[in-house]
Structure 1
Amino acid sequence: MDREELGAWLRLTLSPGVGNGAARRLLTRFGLPQEIFRQPESALQHCVTLAQAKALCTVPSTWEALLETTWQWLEGADLQGPARAVVTLGDARYPPSLLDTEDPPLLMYLMGPAQLLAQNPFPTDRCLAVVGSRNPTAQGAENAKLFSRTLRGAGFTIVSGLALGVDAAAHEGALDVPTGPTAEVAPATIAVVGTGLDRVYPRKNLDLAHRIAAHGLLVSEYPLGTPPLAANFPKRNRIISGLSQGTLVVEAALASGSLITARMAAEQGREVFAIPGSIHAPQSRGCHALIRQGAKLVESAQDVLEELRMPPAPMGDRRSADSGAAAPVGEPMATREAESPLLQALGFDPMGVDALVARTGLDAASLQVELLELELDGQVARLPGGLYQRLGSA
């Protein structure tokens, strides 16, 4: 779009008191935003309130600065780096799945490979949201990565929110799967963020955000310069669920933003999946509540594929998905358990050394040696507080 059209869209989003619903009514009646701002106050009142009409007739004080910043951001993309775009409701690249939701954003800022942004960057199907706790257990983080890796290998784009914990693990799992030329495939993963795209929050995920921009999509509905405001993160969850055919909750406490995403997915008519966990883990209680409310209990990525009635992935995709998975190799799990009484004693709940000493009869020194060996083998994770947790396979 040209600068005039971009400016009109930005002014519409900045007009105080004019939400997405009122803006869509105006667009339906008058067409493009430029036409809205050519109307007299009396004509605007056929669609909006008097206060909203007055706001539309007044140029917001921050509009010119935002227009200049946004235009420079679009024009200043590095030719060797990710491309940038602003996609509006009137753009052919706007995702159809979001148009079917109750509150689609008027515009979205995008950052990703140039070949991807030049075509339709959003897959029309085969998107799956993977969300969960910012403080997952070791097993929860591993599940998020392995499920995402396998589902990406089956042709899904993984959608999440670039938060710490499960979100980051889901993005990383999707990025682990090799892809062909970007122009020929869907994005590996889509990160829907709660800030402007000129910022990365949390800063710990800066390198991950750069990888996503190179092989997937960074998406925001918020203007450039928007800081990480608490209210923006629950609101952006409707985009995560709206882009996706289903939402998989890996781990979540009862008071969790992931449950907001799951609720929005259900309201949008999408599937909701949840991975069960230990009855003693606070991070599992949200998933258990979702299952009681009708979410699909899943134990493997194949459960998700079968529920969505997706055909098996091509052999090449299955190999790429499985190549990096931390799944048991060689002997079946039952044989491995028989060879490791300590794994049997540990179970799948976090446990301290003293409890393991009492359960196994081993002395503390011998137990620490065996735990270290299992940790180096990737079968056990060390947790804060001197606890250990056995890692299963997704």
Structure 2
Amino acid sequence: MERDELGAWLRLTLTPGLGNESARRLLSAFGLPAAIFEQAPAALQQLLKPAQAQALQREPDGLATLLDSTWTWLQEAPRQRALVPLGDARYPVSLLDIEDPPLLLYLTGRLDLALAPGHSLAIVGSRNPTPQGVLNARHFAQALGQAGLTIVSGLALGVDGAAHEGALAAAARAPDRLATVAVVGTGLDRVYPKSHHALAHRISEHGWMVSEYPLGTPPLAANFPRRNRLIAGLSNATLVVEAALQSGSLITARLAAEQGKDVFAIPGSIHATQSRGCHALIRQGAKLVESAQDVLEEWPGSATSVAPVAVDTGEDANPLLQAMGLDPVSLDALLERTGMDISALQAGLMALELAGQVARLPGGLLQRLVRA
């Protein structure tokens, strides 16, 4: 894309009061953005409200600065960065079928790798998951990544980050496959949350970072629910690991269902707030899954398969783990169940914590961690 063409696209996206739908209507009528700005006001008013047509006659505030920064950003790493407009051959076809496809997509990462049709799965969930939820997200993502799926998520804290980590762990076996895609709610010159800066860098080495927002866009609250339509759109199905009833992950699941795609959900404890969203999805028709193999067996078009992924059911666990069960449990309850004295119980729990088999939860509760 040449600088003048880039400037025209940015001007179109920055024009106040002009939404994506109106912009797509103009593109359909007149072609590229440069041609839109050559039209007489009367021609524009046939497709737009008078205020929108007038706004197109004026250069938006900040356009020159944004053009300079965007052009510089692209030139710094032309093989790893791209601005892909609607209608470009590189624009993901799956996004054309969603409600309100973006006019522009900002991409950074392995642009030499394509998002293979039929091989992408969104994994989403709580920003404040249980330790078990983090393990599930990472292990499902790794197993499904090793089966050939690209894992799509949102780079958020919690389940999203764990899903990207699992996908990156699988990338070692297939370095020439797109491992993961992170759809973010900021400009690509920013990383949110900041604690995921190193993770974002690793994603760029093995996958894509994607945004519809101009460079410099801060983490505005309204942008994150909106980007969920892209997570669902870039994926052939969606897996919800943990989610509260008001979780943004349920937005992604709803959008996926509206797009005619499968929704999977991992059940959890009836006592855990983070499980209630998944249980609600299951009641609404989402497919209950307990292992990565369950996902693959239901995969749209049976795109791929792997040997079953074993789940630790606890049959061979030590007596303390058996006494804990799989739900969060208090120290007092464990004392009653095991009959152990407090010193021996605490020593046993400490050993299990160090071994990564038990985690402490808020409120003084403990939970056994099961690795899928």
Q: Same fold (TM over 0.5)?
A: yes
Deviation at 1:146?
0.5
From 260, 279, 302, give the equivalent of 1:310. 302
Deviation at 1:248?
0.6
Aligned to 1:236: 227
- Structure 1 residues 12, 87: CA separation in 2 closer, same or farther (over 3 Å shift)? same
**For residues 84-163 of structure 1, what are the structure 2 equivalents within 5 Å?**
84-113=81-110, 115-116=112-113, 121-163=114-156
Unaligned runs of 5+ in 1: none
Aligned to 2:367: 389
Give the match's secondary structure for 1:266. Answer: helix
Give the match's secondary structure for 2:188. Answer: coil
Aligned to 1:206: 197
**Per-residue deviation, residues 328-371 of structure 1 (Å, max 9, x unmatched):** 5xxx742x13xx22112111111221221122111111111111
Once structures 1 and 2 are overlaid, which stretch shifts more, 251-260 or 354-363? 354-363
Give the match's secondary structure for 2:102. Answer: coil
From 183, 188, 201, give the equivalent of 2:179. 188
Distance 1:224 1:26 in 2: 24
- Structure 1 residues 269, 114: CA separation in 2 closer, same or farther (over 3 Å shift)? closer
Deviation at 1:177?
1.0
Deviation at 1:181?
7.1
Distance 1:272 1:89 in 2: 27
Structure 1 residue 355 corresponds to structure 2 residue 333: yes
- Structure 1 residues 169, 58: CA separation in 2 closer, same or farther (over 3 Å shift)? same
Deviation at 1:18?
0.8
> Do 2:357 and 2:369's aligned partners in 1 also have CA atoms closer than 8 Å?
yes
Aligned to 1:342: 320
Structure 1 residue 275 corresponds to structure 2 residue 266: yes
Once structures 1 and 2 are overlaid, which stretch shifts more, 354-363 or 213-222? 354-363
Distance 2:173 2:320 in 1: 43
- Structure 1 residues 353, 181: CA separation in 2 closer, same or farther (over 3 Å shift)? closer
Give the match's secondary structure for 1:218. Answer: strand
Distance 1:165 1:129 in 2: 15
**Per-residue deviation, residues 93-113 of structure 1 (Å, max 9, x unmatched):** 100000111211111111103
Distance 1:379 1:312 in 2: 31
Deviation at 1:114?
5.1
Distance 1:219 1:376 in 2: 37
Give the match's secondary structure for 2:100. Answer: coil
- Structure 1 residues 180, 305: CA separation in 2 closer, same or farther (over 3 Å shift)? closer
> Do 2:171 and 2:206's aligned partners in 1 also have CA atoms closer than 8 Å?
no
> Do 2:187 and 2:214's aligned partners in 1 also have CA atoms closer than 8 Å?
yes
Unaligned runs of 5+ in 2: none
Deviation at 1:313?
4.3
> Do 2:136 and 2:371's aligned partners in 1 also have CA atoms closer than 8 Å?
yes
> Do 1:194 and 1:232's aligned partners in 2 also have CA atoms closer than 8 Å?
yes
> Do 2:109 and 2:207's aligned partners in 1 also have CA atoms closer than 8 Å?
yes
Give the match's secondary structure for 1:115. Answer: coil
Identical-residue share of aligned pairs (%): 64
**For residues 52-91 of structure 1, what are the structure 2 equivalents within 5 Å?**
52-77=52-77, 83-91=80-88
Distance 2:242 2:46 in 1: 47
> Do 2:110 and 2:205's aligned partners in 1 also have CA atoms closer than 8 Å?
yes
Give the match's secondary structure for 2:230. Answer: helix
From 288, 298, 305, give the equivalent of 1:297. 288
Distance 2:42 2:339 in 1: 84
Give the match's secondary structure for 2:182. Answer: strand
The CA RMSD measured in Å over matched residues stands at 1.9
Deviation at 1:393?
2.9
**Per-residue deviation, residues 60-108 of structure 1 (Å, max 9, x unmatched):** 011111111100110122x8xx711101112101000001112111111
Q: Structure 2 counterpart of 1:145, which letter?
A: R
Distance 2:174 2:37 in 1: 42
Give the match's secondary structure for 1:61. Answer: coil
Aligned to 2:169: 176
Q: Structure 2 counterpart of 1:382, which letter?
A: R
Distance 2:252 2:171 in 1: 28
- Structure 1 residues 114, 295: CA separation in 2 closer, same or farther (over 3 Å shift)? closer
Deviation at 1:138?
0.6
Distance 1:136 1:104 in 2: 30
Give the match's secondary structure for 2:171. Answer: coil
Structure 1 residue 370 corresponds to structure 2 residue 348: yes
> Do 1:162 and 1:192's aligned partners in 2 also have CA atoms closer than 8 Å?
yes
Distance 2:226 2:366 in 1: 36
> Do 1:95 and 1:124's aligned partners in 2 also have CA atoms closer than 8 Å?
no
Distance 1:368 1:382 in 2: 12
Deviation at 1:179?
4.2
Aligned to 1:4: 4
Deviation at 1:311?
4.8
Give the match's secondary structure for 1:177. Answer: helix
Once structures 1 and 2 are overlaid, which stretch shifts more, 18-27 or 166-175? 18-27
